[in-house]
Structure formats: C-alpha cells, structure tokens
Chains A and B, each alone.
Chain A
Amino acid sequence: MKTLILLFISGIFSLFGGIFGMRKILPYFAVIALATGISYLVYDSNYGSENLQFMLLFDHYSYLFTGIILGVTLLVTLMSLKGLSYNPGSLGDMIGLIFFILCGAICMISYNNMVMLFLGIEILSIPLYVLVGSNKRNLYSNESALKYFLMGAFATGFLLFGIALIYGATRSFDLDLIRSMSETALNANPVWVNMGLLFITIAFAFKLAAVPFHYWSPDVYQGSPTLVTAFMATVVKTAGIAAFLKFVIYLSPMLGDSWHLILSIISACTMLFANIVALKQTDFKRMLAYSSISHVGYILMAFLNLNAETVSVVGFYLIIYSLATIGIFAALLLLNPDHNSDNGFDLFKGLSKRSPLLAAIISICLLSLAGIPPFPGFFAKYAVFKQTIENDLWLLILAIISSAISIYYYFRAITLMYFTAEEEATSPMPDKNIAGYMVIGFSVIAILVLSLIPGILNF
C-alpha cells in the first residue's frame, strides 16, 4: 500500500519536474523512488497481508510479483539514463508515465475485485499507448502505437463483457464471493458462466499475446523505442501473467474440462507457432517478440495443473526470463543507441572482435532464454515442465519439441557474433554508456549466480 502511494506521488512529481526544468535529476530521482518503493515492500511484507476494503489484497502473492516488476523497472530506468535520447524534451513525462504504469501493474497484481482488475489493466495500458508512440516523428512508432491502442481497446471490450456475464451469474465482483457462488452459478446459468470465462480468457490472451491473439505483438515490439520494448516485454508481461494466474487460482472451481482444453490448445499453439515463425525473422527485435510470445506459452502450461508450487514456479520463470530479456535489450541499446528502426542481424556480425565482453554477455542471456542446462533458464523450464508431466503429457512433448526448435534461432545470433570473418563484420562499436553496462552486468551476474545456486530464490 505504501509502495502504491509512493509510486503515484513520484509520478506526479516527475510530471511537474519535467515542466520546471529538473530534467537532469529526474532519472536519478526515479531510481531512488523505485529503491525506496522496494524497501517499503520488504518492510510491509514482514507484517503479513493487508486487505483494503476487499478491493485490493496485499499478500505474499502480491509482494512477490510487485517485487519482480519494481526490480525490473529499476533496471529499465537505469537504461533510460541515456536511452531516451530520441525525445529528450519529454523526459519528465516519460518517467511519470512509467510510474503510473507501475501503479496500474500493482492494482492488477493485487486485485481482489473485478473493478480493480479492470482499472489496473486500463491504468497500465493507457500510459503505455503513449510510451509506445513517444517517438513522434517516426512512422514505425506511430504505427505500433495505433496497432497497440486498437488491440488493447478491443481486448478491454472482451474483458468487460466477460466480467458482466460473470456478474450476471454470481451477482458479485468480489473474487471470494464469486468463488463461493461458483457452484450455484454453474447450476443456474452455465452458459453465462462459461461464456464469461471464455471472454475473460480471450482478453487475457490478447494482453499476454498468446497465439491466436498475438498478431499485434511483433509489430508493436519492433516499432516502439527499444527501451519501451524492454519495458513491455518484462514488466507488462509479468503484470499480465500475475493477474491471469490470480484469476485462474481464485476461480478454479468454475473452470471445467473444456476450459482446460482451450487453455492447453492456446498454450501448445503459442509455443509451436511462435518458435517456428521466429526462425524466419530478419529483425532482431521482432525475433525477440516471437521469443517472448513462446515463453508465455511455456508459462501458460503451469496454469493447467494448479498446486502449492505453481506460484513460485511461475515467479521463478518470470524472474529468469526478465533478467535475460533486460540484458539483451540493454545490449541492443548499446549497439543501436539512436533508436534507429533498423535492428537487423547485421548489428551482431563479428561483434566478438569489436567487443568480446558484450558478445559473451549477449550469448549468456540468449543461452539462458534457450534453456541450455548450466544456465537458470533450464531450471525454470524444468520446473514448469515438471508441473505438466502427470496430466498433459502431449503438451509436454510439444513443449520439448518447440524449445528444441527455439535453440536454432537463439544460436543464429551467437554464430553471427563469433563465426563471422573480420572482413565481413558489420557490427558497430558499442556505445560507451556506464549505466547500460551496469544493467547488463547486474543481469548477467544475477543469471550466473542463479545458475550456480538455483535454490537461492526460495519463496
């Protein structure tokens, strides 16, 4: 609760700071505010759960995921110390919007009432439409803002229709009351309940970019500024998955076999389709977009068999995924600091000759995303797969096949970096940016520590 208030006030302060010429200190202010927010979170979590009028519930679950998004945002803000060069005039607005997005994300993670879920998703989405389009003169950025806006608003309509049908069946917006009414509602109005659950699932699939509702995601990831893409691929995805997981956990008595079948088909299609299409990409950011879609597919597998482990498995996966993704995007920002729209694989040809350190770091992040054994991505995938092995063996087999496919495109960048002849090398000299190197260094050290001691994250 204190964290939410602090972030909201910091957002307003950043907006005014941008007007009154304090742009130089704003990124540092943001870092301090986020660090304070994390310490408040740790302080609050010692006192157990806090329930705000049955609207927001701050419990262990919410502290875990809020901690993840705040930590990742801290890294993104460090990147933004130099990364907002395309639009320096509106630095205050951008940092303010990032704070408001965090407020929305916390509402999404901690909701205990459908009203807060809806408001959280909207508070998160509306500033994000602006951030995606913040490179105003760039047509790619314009196009991705328009696509993201239309798809986001469209998905909101589906979410609301689903909430309305669930309300019609159970007479309540409160998650606990909906759960306790689920038996009665299923007997009285099975059509309303099932249609409502289907609509809400479709809305979440839109927000998380699961196949077949993913087609906006590669365009938006490619067109928006690299920093915003990094933010979307980690923080927004974490918040969406946390909200969906909470929905599934609370409403599990309502979810029948047909719902399980639908979600497992969505998960299977997401993994297979995204990995196969990623093989053909020529733009690195677009490839990363498909990679993040496929990771959503793996995470959705864990939703099918809920048990005591599920929350910690999903949390662990999200931490590992976010660290590796942030590392890669920070490296991409060093190679292409001007936010050019061209992020082809040429950026990586012969990078090991120009900067062996950066090449090694990118390789570690890519290997972790691919799930090669010594790296923590493997342990995260293993934990998710272990959840599935008992009930959905066919899904597990598809997941293993698709992660085998994914190794090809992750290794493509690594081969280009290391096995390109000197005369063919097209990679630029990386930008000298201490903050960028700090972010990359932190994520790689965290990945290496987690690969040596995977049990260190024990929640």
Chain B
Amino acid sequence: MPGIDHYLWLSSILFCIGVAGVLLRRNGIILLMCIELMLNAVNLLFTAFSTYYQDSAGQIFVFFIMVVAAAEVAVGLAILVMIYRNTKSVDVSIMDKLKF
C-alpha cells in the first residue's frame, strides 16, 4: 500500500523532469508539454494530500489548476503560432535578438 511519502516522491520526480525539460529543450511545443508536466505533478500531489487528509479542498484546487492551465496553454500556443508566422520556426533558441 503506497503511503503519502511515495506520492510525494513521485510528484517531486515528475516536477523535476518538467523543470529539466523546460531548461534543456529548445522546441516551443515541447516546452509547453514540460510546463504541463510540472502542473500535473502538482495536481497529483494535491490529490494525494486531499485523500490523505480526507479533505475535499485539495481536489477543488485541482480543478482550478486544470482550468487555468488550459487557458494558459491556449495563450501560449497563440504566441507560438504568431512566432511561427514571422520566423517559420518554433525553435525558441532563434529568439535571441534581445540582449545587451
């Protein structure tokens, strides 16, 4: 029977994979997926705590995160489409015009 510690480790590992992906990958779409992975790791943690304490507030929070994540990805994809129109690429490493 997995305890709360196991869930905590699992979601921490998922979160770290997401963070590593955002820091290492260069494709815009993959970056969005890695951010989703971070948010879903948090969702898992909320649900685990919610079940552990028999408290529904954590699960309600998960719905809020899902809604906001959907809105955020919609805007993020729109930004990527705008960039693709101007540069014909979704590689974020070509966006390096702004530096001193």
Contacts and interface: CB of A to CB of B under 8 A. Distances in A.
Interface of A: 114-115, 118-119, 122, 126, 129-130, 133, 136-137, 139-140, 142-147, 149-150, 153-154, 156-157, 160-161, 163-165, 167-168, 171-173, 218-219, 222-223, 277, 280-283, 286
A8 to B, nearest CB: 16
B53 A171 contact: yes
Contacts of B55: 171
Contacts of A130: 75, 78
A161 B38 CA distance: 9
Nearest to B41: A161
Nearest to A122: B68
Contacts of A133: 79, 82
A175 to B, nearest CB: 14
A344 to B, nearest CB: 12
A161 B15 contact: yes
B58 to A, nearest CB: 6
Contacts of A156: 39, 68, 72
B92 A222 contact: no
Top 3 A-B residue pairs of the complex, sorted by shortest distance between their CB atoms: A157-B38, A219-B98, A143-B95
Contacts of A281: 100
A164 B45 contact: yes
Interface string B83-100: 100110000100111111
Given A122-B71, A167-B49, A173-B57, A218 B100 contact: yes
Given A129-B76, A167-B46, A223-B98, 9 more contacts: A114-B61, A139-B87, A142-B87, A145-B79, A154-B22, A157-B42, A161-B45, A167-B61, A168-B52
Question: Which of A115, A156, A281 lies at the interface centre, i.e. has the most chain B CB atoms within 10 A of its CB?
Answer: A156
Nearest to A164: B45
A277 B72 CA distance: 32
26 contacts: A115-B61, A118-B64, A118-B65, A126-B75, A140-B97, A142-B87, A143-B96, A145-B82, A146-B80, A149-B79, A153-B76, A156-B72, A160-B42, A160-B65, A161-B41, A161-B42, A161-B45, A164-B46, A164-B58, A165-B45, A167-B49, A167-B58, A168-B4, A172-B57, A173-B57, A173-B61
Contacts of B78: 130
Q: Is the contact region of chain B dominated by helix, strand, or loop, or is it mixed?
A: helix
Contacts of B18: 157
Given A119-B64, A143-B95, A146-B28, A168 B49 contact: yes
Contact of A222 (B19, B39, B79, B98): B98
B49 A164 contact: yes
Question: Which of A133, A154, A223, A282 lies at the interface centre, i.e. has the most chain B CB atoms within 10 A of its CB?
Answer: A154
B68 A142 contact: no
Contacts of B71: 122, 126
B67 to A, nearest CB: 9
Contact of B35 (A139, A154, A286): A154
Nearest to B44: A164
Interface in B12-34: 15, 18-19, 22, 28, 31
A133 B55 CA distance: 41
Contacts of B52: 168
Contact of B68 (A118, A143, A167, A171): A118
Contacts of A136: 82
B95 A142 contact: yes
B42 A164 contact: yes
A149 B72 CA distance: 9
A131 B51 CA distance: 40
Question: Which of B41, B65, B78, B98 lies at the interface centre, i.e. has the most chain A CB atoms within 10 A of its CB?
Answer: B98
Nearest to B73: A153
B99 A126 contact: no
A165 B45 CA distance: 8
Contacts of A218: 98, 100
Contacts of A129: 75-76, 79
A276 to B, nearest CB: 13
Contact of A146 (B8, B49, B68, B83): B83
A142 B83 contact: yes
Question: Which of A147, A157, A173, A223 lies at the interface centre, i.e. has the most chain B CB atoms within 10 A of its CB?
Answer: A157
A361 to B, nearest CB: 27
B51 to A, nearest CB: 12
Contacts of A165: 45
Nearest to B99: A219
Contacts of A172: 57
Nearest to B39: A157
A114 B57 CA distance: 11
